[in-house]
Structure 1
Amino acid sequence: MTESKQLKKKSLFRLDAYVLLFCILLLCALATYVVPTGEFDRVKNGNVTTVVPGSYHAVEPNPTGFIEFFTAIQTGMVKGAPIIFLVLFTGGALAVLDKTGALNAAILTMVRKLGNREWLLVILITSVFSVLGTLGVIVNSVIAFVPLGIMIARAMKMDAIFGVALIYLGVYAGFNTTIAFPGTLGLSQEIAELPLFSGIGYRTIIYVTFVIVTILYIGRYARKVRQNKSILGGELFPSDSGSTTMEVDTKNVDFTTRHKLILAFTGIVLIGFIVCTILFKWDVNEMSGIFIFIAIGVGLLNKMSGNDIAKTFLKGCQGLIYGALIVGMARAVTVILEDGKFLDTIVYGLATILEPLSPMAGAIGMFLGSAGLHFLISSGSGEAVMLMPLLAPLADLMGITRQVAVEALMLGEGVVNCINPTSGVLMSILAMSGISYGKWLKFMLPLTAVWTVLSIVFIVIGVLINWGPY
């Protein structure tokens, strides 16, 4: 390979996340001048607004102008504010917690006890977070836990990709195969007129299979890192990472009573948040507030002054500005697509293509179509309210059960969640950890391919067994 080609390949794999999203924004803006515009009528059922099948009609084009292109970025920042502040406040709270030394001491104690048995750690952490993901307890808020994975990876002498995968893929292996999350599965089943969380037996088999495959993949990558085959090369923790400013001292550190008290307080507050998420539907806004509370409580337990807590918290926020604002850039893509009024045209075209297919081909087509649309509609619930009203009657016409149609939608958006450049959560995590999108793709594409094959197999089985409502 020539030197120029090597440099070109290197620059591609280190393309800045903001530059990548700006290019995507530009392509979407240009598409508003080319793609035919149209809309479905929409009807509100309770708190859910869905499209009306058969109501698609052409509307006046609304191409993105020069000023509108740049104001879309600001609008994206405003709409992404809840997650942006979650990222910032996570950095602030972790900076205060890191200053106490409690987290360092706990991680080193755990690593010393585990030795080189990273398989055990991968199984435990990935399994726990997958449960939280499949129940929808932690989805967008996974951002708050990724720095913990980075710190564990540092202590184990792994790399940033391993640290991110440990937490992020744990949550999304569960969320992508959700068995009881009202926000996506429950909403889709409600639109499809299926009993809430019906089909849980078969979905549990899918969930367990995905988690096992993910654990094996992360464990295999950990072994490669041990063999000095990290995708990140010699730069295991890229220097531009906000989260890596929180170092893990690799020397022996005493795990004191104060450390235990600080971590117990933090753990109880986070468990309380999880409980309130289930009982009171707490989400990102409440978690942002929780991290302010944790920072104050941890600081006081460590006998820090008010000024010291504030300065440390703000310094932690500053370290994650790069990772926070990327959420707004990703959200700006949705702003342009919605204002350009051509998303409905794409959905209508998909439904038209699927209608004449056989049941088997149609079910697989639903899965592939959902996966493709998720690059444009990065919200799972948003895709459900747009696509499910069309897929449900389409499934009836094609001889596919509605349960299979729902799962095709769930798995379709699920398999691309972790490679989707318009996902604010993914791009924020990559920015926080300093991993370029290209290198993440190099790590993630083989697992995405395995997830895709598994999804098609399970969908085909669903068609063959005529998977019904229960």
Structure 2
Amino acid sequence: MKGNETKKRKFQMPHIYVILFVLSAIAAILTYIIPAGKFERVPGPEGRTTIDPNSFSGVEQTPVGIVDFLTVIPRGLIDAGEVVFFTFIIGGMFMVLRHTGIIEIAVDKLTRKFSNKSLMLIPILTTVFAVIATVIGTPELSLVYIPVIMPLMIALGYDSLVAAAIALCGTVIGFAAGVLNPINTGLAQKISGIPVFSGIGFRLIIFVVIVLAAVFYIMRYAKKVKQNPLNSLVYEDDQEKREQYQDQDQVEEKHMNTRQKYASIAAFIFFGILVYGVVGQGWFMVEMAGLFIIMGIVVGIIAGLTLTEICEGFNQGFRDVLMGAMIVGIARAVAVVMEDGQIMDTIVHGLGSAVNELPPVLGAVGMYFVQLIINFFIPSGSGQALVTMPIMAPLSDIIGVTRQTAILAFQLGDGFAHILYPTSGYFMAALSIAGVQYQKWIRFFFPLFLILAGISVVSLIIAQVIQWS
């Protein structure tokens, strides 16, 4: 028995804090090894700053010393402050909604309605989230979706991983395919000098294929959990949630009182304002966080909560997402180290140069893997486009890859990795809100990631063979 316990400890994954700290330390060591370099920054599309691809030059080495390294995590938290505080606010707001009772009542009604056809909710919700993301380009909305659908998925006999997968996979797939996504497709096409949203037909085909792949993968896991809850990767973690939300059919049906009905109407109005702000006014996390604060207060008062109860609801929600908020800032420390050591541009330049040695078909695939690697260091669609596409677009002309294909390599290499790498801030915050450990998410998602990577490679080969433009 002791031998078995020792063996289990030996193969246990380290805590995510440890993983991120080690990555930051490795990045600091690399600042002594990788030569420092820099591209000149120039004005780009829509007032953004991009790089001059022909301006790379070596600069004086600025390695990150021990004293500087001591500050990278606090500075990472400061740099990622927008995501950190958004995570706190959304956690607090949804806890206030739970205290009003309207979430539990809505879950009770939906559970009874879909009890015999619950599996169909997975393709419906995944597709809806994917369509929204492929049009407006905001995978960060998964932070909003997860707490909404989590109680329903638990009540229907699934687990928190299913809820997280529907939201995260749906949004990131839509974002990666970028059918009409201004954040990655539109910006990359502007930088590359080709008509914005051209080539929509092929991207639409890719969108359908990867949505189907994800839906079938999630449904397969969900069916196993439904048949036997012990098959869940998060069975023990979900114990409290199951006690709270399951067995709805064995208790008396819940009904809203008058104040709760008005509170529900107010909540829907606020979500309508959220959609209008994101789609029509370009709102992002700061604006959404402000709206959620007002939403929690107004809906709570209408439902009959006292101001003290509302404040305590926010506090409880803050505590529940504390670790996720901290992870966001610690993950940002990796990029802070590389920026201080001025090796980010050197890495991008070196990877871009490596693709130059490949034949056209392999060059397209090589661009995909380059973008996949760079996404670890620059976990932002628009940020990666502004840094890499000024290099990849002219490089594609040299090696015989169409610019449309080079943009697709960027989209697919950037997209799916958003929910793989721990350096992706919003992703780590989403896992915290879902109550899913990063290690368990990787066990669930990595096989699907390999499937999506295979689809990506095949798509790029086809695009290059047909000279997609």
Q: Which amino acid aligns with 1:450?
A: I
Q: Secondary structure at the match of 2:411?
A: helix
Amino acid corresponding to residue 149 of structure 2 in structure 1: G
When residues 79 and 238 of structure 1 are mapped into structure 2, their CA distance, relative to the original with a 3 A threshold, is: farther
Deviation at 1:322, TM superposition (A): 1.6
Structure 1 residue 3 displacement after superposition: 4.2
Asked whether the equivalents of residues 161 and 234 of structure 2 are also in contact (C-alpha less than 8 Å), the reply is: no
Q: Is it true that 1:355 corresponds to 2:356 in the alignment?
A: yes
Superposed displacement of residue 236, structure 1: 4.5
Deviation at 1:310, TM superposition (A): 1.9
Q: How does 1:280-291 map to 2 (within 5 A)?
A: 280-291=281-292
**Aligned partners of 1:140, 1:418: CA distance in 2, in Å?**
11
Who is 2:211 aligned against? Answer: 211
Q: CA–CA distance in 2 between the matches of 1:362 and 1:68?
A: 39
Measured in 1, the distance between the counterparts of 2:283 and 2:177 equals 22
Residue aligning to 2:33 = 34
- Residue range with higher mean Cα deviation, 376-385 or 400-409: 376-385
Displacement of 1:130: 1.0
Structure 1 position 248 matched with structure 2 position 231 = no
2:9 corresponds to which of 7, 31, 35: 7
SS at match of 1:53: coil
> 219-228 or 112-121, which moves further after superposition?
112-121
Q: Secondary structure at the match of 1:374?
A: helix
2:126·2:169 contact (CA, 8 Å) conserved in 1?
yes
Q: Aligned residue for 2:44?
A: 45
Query: In 2 relative to 1, CA 93–230 (structure 1 residues): closer, same or farther, beyond 3 Å?
Result: same
Query: Could you say what the CA RMSD is over the residues aligned between the two structures, in angstroms?
Result: 2.0
What is aligned with 2:296?
A: 295
The answer to which of 246-255 and 404-413 deviates more is 246-255
Provide, for residues 6-57 of structure 1, a one-character-per-residue CA deviation record: whole Å limited to 9, x for no partner. Answer: 2222x21xx3222211111111111111112111222123512222123221
Please give the secondary structure, in 2, of the residue aligned with 1:375: helix
Provide the residue aligned with 1:265 in structure 2: 266
Q: TM-score, normalization: structure 2?
A: 0.93
Residue 436 of structure 1: aligned partner: 437
Superposed, 1:294-373 pairs within 5 Å as 294-373=295-374
SS at match of 1:458: helix
2:87 aligned partner: 87
Q: How many aligned residue pairs are there?
A: 461
How do 1:11-26 residues align onto structure 2 when only pairs under 5 Å count?
11-12=12-13, 15-26=14-25
- What residue in structure 2 maps to residue 122 of structure 1? 122
1:400-458 CA distances to partner (integer Å, 9 max, x unpaired)? 11111001100011122211111111222223333222221110111001101111111
What is the Cα deviation at residue 246 of structure 1? Answer: 11
Q: What is aligned with 1:376? A: 377
C-alpha contact (below 8 Å) 1:141/1:284 kept by paired residues? no
Matches of 2:394 and 2:22, distance apart in 1: 37
- 1:103 is displaced (CA, Å) by 0.9
In 1, distance between residues paired with 2:20 and 2:178? 28
Superposed CA offset, 1:377-398 (max 9, x none)? 1111111111101111111111
Structure 2 CA distance for aligned equivalents of residues 319 and 419 of structure 1 = 23
Which residue does the alignment assign to 1:145? Answer: 145
Q: Secondary structure at the match of 2:33?
A: coil
Q: Is 2:364–2:401's contact at 8 Å kept on the other side of the alignment?
A: yes
8 Å Cα contact 2:393/2:403 also seen in 1:
yes
CA contact (8 A) 2:108 2:254 kept: no
Q: 1:245 to 1:282 in 2, by over 3 A?
A: farther
Shift of 1:137: 5.4
Residue identity opposite 1:156 in structure 2: L
Q: Is the 8 A contact 1:95 1:246 kept in 2?
A: no
CA distance in 2, matches of 1:127, 1:141: 14
Distance 2:428 2:408 in 1: 26
Residue-by-residue CA offset, 1:238-288 (whole Å, 9 max, x unaligned) = 77xxxx699436434423254443223212211221122121111111110
Give a deviation string over 1:100-142, Cα, whole Å, max 9, x none: 1111111121111111423211022111111121123532232
Provide the TM-score with structure 1 as the length reference: 0.93
State whether residues 400 and 463 of structure 1, in contact with CA within 8 Å, keep that contact through their aligned partners in structure 2: yes
Taking structure 1 as reference, are residues 85 and 24 closer, same or farther at Cα in structure 2, changes over 3 Å only? Answer: same
Q: Partner amino acid for 1:36? A: P
Gaps of 5+ in 1: none
Residue identity over aligned pairs, in percent, reads: 34
- CA distance in structure 1 between the partners assigned to 2:435 and 2:239 by the alignment: 5
- Does the CA-based 8 Å contact 1:91-1:317 persist in structure 2? yes
Shift of the alpha carbon at 1:145? 2.4
What's 2:280 paired with? 279
Distance 1:78 1:233 in 2: 32
Distance 1:367 1:351 in 2: 11
**Structure 1 residue 332: deviation in Å?**
1.4
Matched residue, 1:99: 99
Separation in 2, partners of 1:247, 1:323: 22
- Aligned in 2, Cα 1:26/1:253: closer, same or farther, shift over 3 Å? farther
Check 1:79–1:309 CA distance in 2 against 1; reply closer, same or farther (3 A cut).
same
CA drift of 1:186 comes to 1.3
Task: For residue 231 of structure 1, report the CA deviation from its aligned partner.
Answer: 4.6
More helix by proportion, 1 or 2? 2
Aligned to 2:454: 453
Name the aligned partner's letter for residue 139 of structure 1: P
Change beyond 3 A, Cα 1:282–1:150: same
The alignment partner of 2:219 has SS state of helix
The unaligned stretches of length 5 or more in structure 2 are: none
User: For 1:277 and 1:429, how far apart are their aligned partners in 2?
Assistant: 19
